[in-house]
Structure 1
Amino acid sequence: MKNIFTLLAGVFILSSLNAQILAENDGMMYGNDFSAFTGTYREYYPDGTIRLEADFADGVYHGATILYYENGNRKEVRSYRYGQVDGTWVTWNENQVKTGEAGYRHGKKHGTWKIWDDKGRLLYEMVYDMGKKTGTWKIYNEQGKAISLKKYD
């Protein structure tokens, strides 16, 4: 009897976690009480595994947003500041090999961007300065040698 009660309590808690609902209107996220949502929002796969964690402040993305594969591994980490992309975004494949890294500042592409293949070999390297292409952009072959260079002012 005690085990059944524990099981039912666990199911109730899990179903409560899955019931968190946000509504979007004109780019703003609102909670169950119709106020601009502040806090951490979570979504789950049907089996209860976390799918998404996102931080909000006053109805807009603010802080980290993490997406997960069904196996529980991280898929992507995004960074926001008051609704704008800001900071480093990183992506991984299902085997946790990093496949992308991108920088943003105040909603614009900024810093070095890198893209790797599924084996972790660097393929592309690009540089942005507040949304403008800059520096030397590179394309690499499978052996890691730069095979194409393009310079931006």
Structure 2
Amino acid sequence: MKKLIYILILLLLFNCKSEKKEIFQEYNGQLIKVEFDDSKTDSTFSGYGGEHYPNGNLKSLSLFKNGEPIDTLFYYYENGMIKEKGLVKNGLQDGWWTYFRENGTLKEKIEWKPKGNDTIYKNQSLVFDNNGKLKMEPSTYFELEIPDTIVFGKNIAFIKNYVSNFKNVDERFLSVIIENKYADNIIKKDTFSDGTLKPFFGIFGLKTGKQIVKGQIEEKILQTEKINKDSSSLTIIDHYKYFEKEVFVSDNEEISEKSKKIIEDYFKSKENN
């Protein structure tokens, strides 16, 4: 699903009337001046730019460098209210984008992830009603319990909550696949599943300092469909959601003891259940 974001902006920006236009607008909390000047070219333009409606109101706005947006890209309704906003990378949405209704109320938040060189993937989606309350039925998202600080060696984390894209299925299973680094040149994909919809997964702390925890949640959906009185078919769908988080690896003994206690308590609770 390729969505070219800024090409149309630049085409309209540099093909407007030769008359130079200036608009003052709030951008990420500060008042900035937006200039529209067709003497600039799309490959060299740096500064605040965008396109505007016939009434003079902004239609889009971003900070550009060498013709590409390098900060938040805003789209506006003709009445001046924000329509959507988020970051752009390689001409595509990147990370969390926020979408609004024409009256200014929050409509949806979507996390976009790259998929290949020219497509993006809707990783998570939070849908809100007119009163700003989260609507569970169309939303699809997850919450992870990953400590901000981990220790050398083995650490444990959890899926705290998982809201699926797929409703009313017969069975579903969740697994977590983590890219664990055990040495500078050894990275393994470890898979964790405990038969529940809130499985634990292991994170390996390699050395003191910042570390990126990177992985994916695999959802396996089993759906049976009755063909006739005596037979049915089984459909298996594998669906993935991706995550990464920056953590700090510590050699603090007190933190290490707390981590061990969390792991012990978790497995004790599993035995009791």
Q: Which amino acid aligns with 1:109?
A: Y
Q: Which has the larger radius of gyration?
A: 2
Query: Which residue of structure 2 lines up, in the alignment, with residue 61 of structure 1?
Result: 69
* Residues 1:17 and 2:33 aligned together: no
Q: How far apart in 1 are the matches of 2:66 and 2:42?
A: 12
| 1:137 is aligned to 2:176 | no
**Structure 1 alignment gaps of length 5 or more:** 1-14, 23-30, 129-134, 140-147
Q: CA deviation at 1:98?
A: 1.3
Q: Equivalent residue for 1:42?
A: 50
Amino acid at match of 2:62: A
CA RMSD of aligned residues (A): 3.2
The Cα of 1:63 is off from its aligned counterpart by 1.7
CA displacement 1:85-106 (0-9 Å, x = unmatched): 2221111111112111111244
Tell me how far 1:138 sits from its aligned partner: 5.5
> Which residue of the partner structure matches residue 71 of structure 1?
79
Match of 2:108 among 91, 100, 104: 100
Segments of 5+ residues of structure 2 without an aligned counterpart are 1-18, 23-34, 143-161, 173-218, 221-273
Summarize the Cα distance change of 1:34–1:88 in structure 2 as closer, same or farther, 3 Å threshold: closer
1:53 deviates by 0.4
Give the counterpart letter for 1:17 in structure 2: K
Cα gap change, 1:111 to 1:138, in 2 (>3 Å):
closer
The equivalent of 2:153 in structure 1 is none
Alignment length (residue pairs)? 117
Letter in 1 for 2:139: E
Q: In the alignment, which residue of structure 2 is the partner of 1:80?
A: 88
Task: Tell me, in whole angstroms, the C-alpha distance in 2 between the residues paired with 1:43 and 1:103.
Answer: 25
Instruction: Sort the Cα spacing of 1:34 and 1:136 in 2 relative to 1 into closer, same or farther, 3 A.
Output: closer
Correspondence for 1:126: 140
CA 1:81/1:138 → structure 2, altered by over 3 Å: closer, same or farther? closer
Amino acid at match of 2:50: R
What TM-score, normalized by structure 1, do the two folds share?
Answer: 0.57
